Protein backbone atom coordinates (compact mmCIF):
# COMPACT_ATOMS: atom_id res chain seq x y z
CA UNK A 1 0.00 0.00 0.00
CA UNK A 2 1.31 3.44 -0.85
CA UNK A 3 0.34 7.00 -0.03
CA UNK A 4 0.50 10.23 -2.02
CA UNK A 5 1.05 13.74 -0.73
CA UNK A 6 0.23 16.54 -3.15
CA UNK A 7 0.49 20.27 -2.84
CA UNK A 8 1.92 23.44 -4.32
CA UNK A 9 5.42 21.99 -4.27
CA UNK A 10 4.49 18.90 -6.26
CA UNK A 11 3.71 15.30 -5.43
CA UNK A 12 5.45 12.71 -3.27
CA UNK A 13 4.69 9.00 -3.13
CA UNK A 14 5.85 6.65 -0.38
CA UNK A 15 4.98 3.26 1.08
CA UNK A 16 3.86 2.49 4.62
CA UNK A 17 7.42 1.88 5.73
CA UNK A 18 8.38 5.45 4.85
CA UNK A 19 5.62 7.06 6.94
CA UNK A 20 7.74 7.72 10.04
CA UNK A 21 10.45 9.31 7.87
CA UNK A 22 7.94 11.58 6.14
CA UNK A 23 6.30 12.53 9.45
CA UNK A 24 9.63 13.39 11.08
CA UNK A 25 10.67 15.40 8.03
CA UNK A 26 7.43 17.39 8.22
CA UNK A 27 7.95 18.14 11.93
CA UNK A 28 11.53 19.27 11.24
CA UNK A 29 10.21 21.79 8.72
CA UNK A 30 7.60 23.27 11.04
CA UNK A 31 4.51 21.24 10.20
CA UNK A 32 1.97 21.03 13.00
CA UNK A 33 -1.01 18.67 12.92
CA UNK A 34 -4.36 20.39 12.67
CA UNK A 35 -6.06 17.78 14.81
CA UNK A 36 -9.43 16.16 14.45
CA UNK A 37 -12.77 17.89 14.42
CA UNK A 38 -16.30 16.66 14.88
CA UNK A 39 -17.98 15.67 11.63
CA UNK A 40 -20.55 18.48 11.67
CA UNK A 41 -17.95 21.22 12.12
CA UNK A 42 -16.25 20.20 8.91
CA UNK A 43 -19.41 20.79 6.89
CA UNK A 44 -20.14 24.16 8.56
CA UNK A 45 -16.96 25.52 6.94
CA UNK A 46 -18.01 24.41 3.43
pLDDT of 30 reads 94
The rounded distance, in Å, linking the Cα atoms of 19 and 4 is: 11
> What pLDDT, in 10s, does the model give residues 11-41?
988 888 888 888 888 899 998 888 766 666 5
Could you tell me the pTM of the whole model?
0.51
| Other beta carbons less than 10 A from residue 45's beta carbon | 6
Please name the residues in contact with 14: beta carbons below 8 A apart, sequence gap of 6 or more.
Answer: 2, 3, 5, 21, 22
DSSP assignment letter at 28: H
43 or 14: which leads in pLDDT: 14
Q: How far apart are the C-alpha atoms of 15 and 13, rounded to whole Å?
A: 7
pLDDT of residue 41: 59
Amino acid sequence: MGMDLRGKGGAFRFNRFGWSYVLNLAYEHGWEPEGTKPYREIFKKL
